C-alpha cells in the first residue's frame, strides 16, 4: 500500500510505529501491520484502515474489508461499498459480509444510493445489508429490484420485502412465487408471502396452492410451511394430497401444517401415512400434529406410536394422548 494518507500525528505513538510497515514492499508485512492496527480498536485509525482497500495486493484488501466489519462511520461505509466492485472475489465477499453486519438504521442513507450500481453483486450485497434495517425508504427500491435481471438481486429484494411485512408487496411476491425462473427466488417469495400478507386475499391461497405443486421440492416445502402459518382452511384438500409427496421433507412440513389447521378430517391421512413413515422425524411430527388436532379418533394410532422404537416419537405420542385427554 502506498501511503496515500499523510503520516499520523506524532502524538499517536501506536499508529506512528505501525505506519512504516503499512507501506512496506512486502504484502505480508502490510497485512500483519493492518491486523495489529485494527486490533487497537481506535476510531481515529479508520482512515488508515480504509486506505488499505486501495492496496495492490488482494489479500491485504480482503483483510481490510473484513477488519471494517461493524464500523458504520461514513469513511468505512464508503470504502466497503466501493470494494463491492473490486476485481478480486474474496475482497468483494469480505466487503459484502462486513456491510451485512450493519445494524444502525441511520446507515441506510449511505446504502440506498448504492442500489444504482451497475454491478449485480453490489446491488445484491446492498439489499442484503438493508434487510435487517427495516427502513421504510427501502420498500420501493426493493420492489423495483424484484424485476432485476439477476436472480441473486431478486432474491435479496424478496428478503427486504419480507422483513418490511407490507401487504403492498403481495402482487410482486405472488408473481415471483409462481413465475420466477429461479427456484430459490420462488422459495423465498413463498416464505415472504407468509410475512407480508392479508390472509383473506384469495390470490394468496391460490398462489400457495400452486407453489405446493412446484417442480422444486424446496418450494413445495416452503408452501406447506406458509399454509400452516396462515392456517388457511381452504388448503386442507391440497395438503392431504401433498402427504404423498415424494420428499419426506415436504411431507413433514405438510403434516405440521395439517396440525396447525386443527381439522379432524386430516386424522385418517396422518395416522395412515405420516405416523407410520420410515422417517422418525416425520412420525414425530405426525404425533405432534395429532395432538394439536386433538381428535379422539387418533387415540388407537397414538397408543401404538407410544411404543415406537424411537424415543422422540414415543414422547410426542404420549404428549399427544395427554392433549386429547385434556380436551376430552
Distances (CA, A) of 298 to 10, 269, 317: 80, 11, 10
Averaged pLDDT for residues 23-30: 94
Task: For residue 35, tell me if it sits in a domain.
Answer: yes
Domain boundary among 101, 129, 150: 101
* Predicted local distance difference test score (pLDDT) of residue 1: 47
Q: What is the value of pTM for the model shown?
A: 0.90
d(CA 226, CA 12): 57
Domain boundary among 101, 116, 144: 101
For the chain, what is the domain count?
A: 2
pLDDT 10s digits, 265-294:
999 999 999 999 999 999 999 999 999 999
d(CA 69, CA 304): 54
pLDDT grade for 4, boundaries at 50, 70 and 90: low
Task: For residue 232, tell me if it sits in a domain.
Answer: no
Task: For residue 271, tell me if it sits in a domain.
Answer: yes
> Taking 70 as the threshold, does the pLDDT of residue 311 lie above it?
yes
Task: For residue 109, tell me if it sits in a domain.
Answer: no
* Residues 235, 264 contacting (CB under 8 angstroms): no
pLDDT grade for 153, boundaries at 50, 70 and 90: very high
Structural domain containing residue 317:
262-328
Task: For residue 136, tell me if it sits in a domain.
Answer: no
pLDDT 10s digits, 161-218:
999 999 999 999 999 999 999 999 999 999 999 986 666 778 999 999 999 999 999 9
> Taking 80 as the threshold, does the pLDDT of residue 12 lie above it?
yes
CA dihedral angle for residue 323, residue 245, residue 179, residue 123, rounded to 10 degrees:
70
Task: For residue 41, tell me if it sits in a domain.
Answer: yes
Averaged pLDDT for residues 294-299: 96
Map residue 249 onto helix, strand or coil.
helix
Task: For residue 167, tell me if it sits in a domain.
Answer: no
**Share of residues in the chain with pLDDT > 90 (%):** 91
Task: For residue 36, tell me if it sits in a domain.
Answer: yes
Domain boundary among 48, 67, 101: 101
Q: Nearest-CA neighbor of 98 among 200, 90, 269?
A: 90
CATH number at residue 296: 1.25.10.10
Averaged pLDDT for residues 222-232: 94
Q: In sequence order, what DSSP letters do the residues of 182-246 get, joined into one string?
A: -HHHHHHHHHHHTTS--TT-HHHHHHHHHHTT-SSHHHHHHHHHHHHHHT-GGGHHHHHHHTT-S
Amino acid at each position: 500500500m502506498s501511503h496515500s494518507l499523510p503520516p499520523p500525528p506524532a502524538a499517536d505513538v501506536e499508529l506512528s510505529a505501525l505506519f512504516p510497515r503499512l507501506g512496506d514492499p512486502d504484502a505480508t508485512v502490510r497485512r500483519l501491520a493492518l491486523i495489529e492496527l485494527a486490533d487497537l480498536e481506535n476510531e481515529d485509525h479508520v482512515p488508515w484502515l480504509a486506505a488499505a482497500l486501495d492496496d495492490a495486493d488482494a489479500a491485504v484488501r480482503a483483510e481490510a474489508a473484513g477488519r471494517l466489519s461493524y464500523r458504520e462511520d461514513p469513511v468505512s461505509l464508503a470504502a466497503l461499498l466501493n470494494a463491492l466492485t473490486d476485481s478480486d472475489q474474496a475482497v468483494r465477499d469480505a466487503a459484502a459480509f462486513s456491510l451485512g453486519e450493519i445494524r444502525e438504521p441511520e446507515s441506510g442513507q449511505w446504502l440506498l444510493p448504492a442500489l444504482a450500481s451497475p454491478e449485480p453483486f453490489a446491488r445484491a450485497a446492498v439489499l442484503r445489508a438493508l434487510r435487517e434495517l427495516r427502513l421504510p425508504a427501502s420498500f420501493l427500491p426493493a420492489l423495483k429490484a424484484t424485476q432485476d435481471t439477476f436472480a441473486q438481486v431478486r432474491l435479496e429484494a424478496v428478503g427486504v420485502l419480507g422483513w418490511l411485512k407490507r401487504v403492498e408487496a403481495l402482487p410482486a411476491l405472488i408473481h415471483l412465487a409462481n413465475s420466477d425462473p429461479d427456484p430459490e427466488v420462488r422459495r423465498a417469495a413463498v416464505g415472504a408471502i407468509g410475512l407480508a400478507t392479508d390472509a383473506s386475499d384469495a390470490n394468496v391461497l391460490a398462489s400457495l396452492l400452486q407453489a405446493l405443486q412446484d417442480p422444486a421440492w424446496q418450494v413445495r416445502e416452503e408452501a406447506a410451511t406458509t399454509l400452516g402459518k396462515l392456517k388457511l382452511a381452504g388448503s386442507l384438500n391440497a395438503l392431504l394430497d401433498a402427504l404423498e409427496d415424494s420428499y419426506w421433507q415436504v411431507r413433514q412440513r405438510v403434516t405440521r401444517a395439517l396440525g396447525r389447521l386443527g381439522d379432524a378430517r386430516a386424522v385418517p391421512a396422518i395416522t395412515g401415512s405420516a405416523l407410520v413413515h420410515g422417517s422418525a422425524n416425520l412420525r414425530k411430527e405426525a404425533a405432534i400434529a395429532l395432538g394439536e388436532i386433538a381428535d379422539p379418533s387418533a387415540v388407537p394410532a397414538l397408543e401404538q406410536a407410544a411404543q415406537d422404537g424411537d424415543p422422540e416419537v414415543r414422547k410426542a405420542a404420549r404428549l399427544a394422548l395427554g392433549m386429547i385427554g385434556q380436551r376430552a
